[in-house]
Amino acid sequence: MFEAIQKQPADKILALMQAFREDPRADKIDLGVGVYKNAEGMTPIMRAIKSAEKQLWEAETTKSYTGLAGDPGFSDAMISLVLGDAVPRANVAAAATPGGTGAVRQAFDMAKMANPDVRVFVSNPTWPNHLSILKHMKIETVTYRYFDDETRGVDFDGMMADLAQAGKGDLVLLHGCCHNPTGANLNLTQWQEVIDLLLKTGATAMIDIAYQGFGDGLDEDAAATRMVAAALPETLIAASCSKNFGIYRERTGLLMAVAGDPGAQALNQGTLSYLNRQNFSFPPDHGARLVTMVLTDPALRADWAAELEEVRLSMLGLREQLAGELQRLSGSDRFGFLAQHRGMFSRLGTTPELVETLRAEFGIYMVGDSRMNIAGLNKTTVPILAEAIVKAGV
């Protein structure tokens, strides 16, 4: 029977990682894969996570099943991290999921349960997994304008014009902060305009927040998500703990459904548990438990927040250094956007041909759409990249 299945396209980023590994050049630079790397090129285990893991090993007495929605303590801690006190806790249904990807998938599933003809509006561009999951689920995707190739900022007028086409029964997917793959983000005034538009059209908002703490700070990065959740009658939020807790392989995420009242919350909670049951039953617990310990123990939390802040500032420093080097070498301000972008990624905004030139001639690996992982750089490699960008004629 399996011969009837068509061959699936290879994951482009994984193929790029493979090509990087096989490249013999010693001075090659990997800006491809989306994991945080420190100046030594390592993706370290955060100190607070390591301490929590030691404590957990001592204290944990059973590995029996948790609830279908995961440990309620994890939901409480994450709801508070993401939403602060923007909405009453009683209005929020939540379920732990395998990573942020699991939350995204369950959110689409819930939207499809609510409306089998749901259309999901996604930014152009968006994280490729959004598109491939939607395609796999046979959900109609509508792209809205987002990245302005000229300014390398947000094409806000285009975005608003396209979002005006979404109506009741549609889902509008927004990146809560640190847009992947572009690094270009809305300001809070623009977010308010998006909220007003959604209120007018009746479309439902879905926020994917995978980089809280990587952009402008923990609360700052959640500000837009909180505004949306507080203003709209219903919001889906997919949160990932992979990046900001550095627990990529533990597969830790949370799907939140924010409703206007506790009655709707009860219905949503049942739906989220039901969906977990259908797709994988109980969600993974190890990472969720570590996150809960870190967020609820004041000393661990302070240490985690301090380390996350170091990570954030190091990426910001690299952005500023790169924009400065490019300004010096090119004699123009046209790369200033690199310092304005936030999060781990920036879209350089160049052609696939020049991306290939950077790889073939300079050993610089970035995704074909010119997405660079800023965390793949360090103080020494920034000038090398800047020189290559200018020499390649970007």
Ligand X SMILES: Cc1ncc(COP(=O)(O)O)c(C=O)c1O
CA 26 vs. chain centroid, Å, equals 31
Q: Is 114 a catalytic residue?
A: no
Is residue 283 within the footprint of ligand X (CB under 6 A)? no
Binding-site member from 51, 180, 346, 381 for ligand X (CB under 6 A): 180
Looking at residues 95 to 134 of the shown chain, list those that interact with ligand X (rule: CB under 6 A): 99-101, 104, 127
| Shortest distance (Å) from residue 27 CB to ligand X | 27
Active site residue 208: yes
Decide if residue 210 touches ligand X (CB under 6 A). yes
User: Is residue 375 within 8 Å of 356, Cβ to Cβ?
Assistant: no
**Per-residue binding letters, 247-266, with ligand X (x by CB under 6 A):** -x----x-------------
Query: Which residues partner with 207 through β-bridges?
Result: 174, 237
As measured in angstroms, the least distance from the Cβ of 208 to ligand X is 5
Asked if 240 is part of the footprint of ligand X (rule: CB under 6 A), the reply reads: yes
Find the catalytic residue in 210, 238, 259, 339.
210
Considering only residues 8-47, where is the footprint of ligand X by CB under 6 A? 34
- Minimal distance, residue 80 CB to ligand X, in Å: 19
Cα–Cα distance, 58 to 226 (Å, whole number)? 37
Q: Least distance to ligand X from the beta carbon of 228, Å?
A: 16
Question: Catalytic: which of 109, 127, 259, 323?
Answer: 127
Question: Quick one: 142 exposed, middle or buried, by C-beta within 10 A (0-12, 13-18, 19+)?
Answer: middle
CB closer to ligand X out of 175 and 289: 175
Q: Which residues of 105-132 are buried (b: 16+ CB within 10 A; e: fewer)?
A: bbbbbbbbeeeeebbbbbbebbbbebee
Task: Count Cα neighbours of 346 within 13 Å in the Cβ-side half-sphere.
Answer: 25
Nearer CB in complex with ligand X: 130/319: 130
Residue (104 or 293) nearer to ligand X, CB: 104
Facing residues of 206 across strands? 173, 236
Choice among 109, 148, 208, 369 that is catalytic: 208
Min dist. Cβ of residue 32 to ligand X (A): 12
- Please identify, using beta-carbon distances, which residue of 70 and 253 lies nearer to ligand X: 253
Residue nearest to ligand X (CB): 99
The end-to-end CA distance of the chain, in Å, is 49
The Cα 70–Cα 284 span in angstroms is 8
Give 264: exposed, middle or buried? Use CB within 10 Å, 0-12, 13-18, 19+.
Answer: middle
DSSP-derived letter for residue 203 is P
Active site residue 7: no
What beta strand segments (E) does 190-252 contain? 204-209, 235-240
Q: How far is the CB of 123 from ligand X (least distance, A)?
A: 10
Q: What is the DSSP letter of 44?
A: P
Q: Which is nearer to ligand X, 86 or 107 (CB)?
A: 107
CA distances from 59 to 52, 56, 62 (A): 10, 5, 9
- Catalytic site positions: 127, 208, 210, 243
Binding residues (CB under 6 A) for ligand X: these are: 34, 99-101, 104, 127, 175, 180, 208, 210, 240, 242, 248, 253
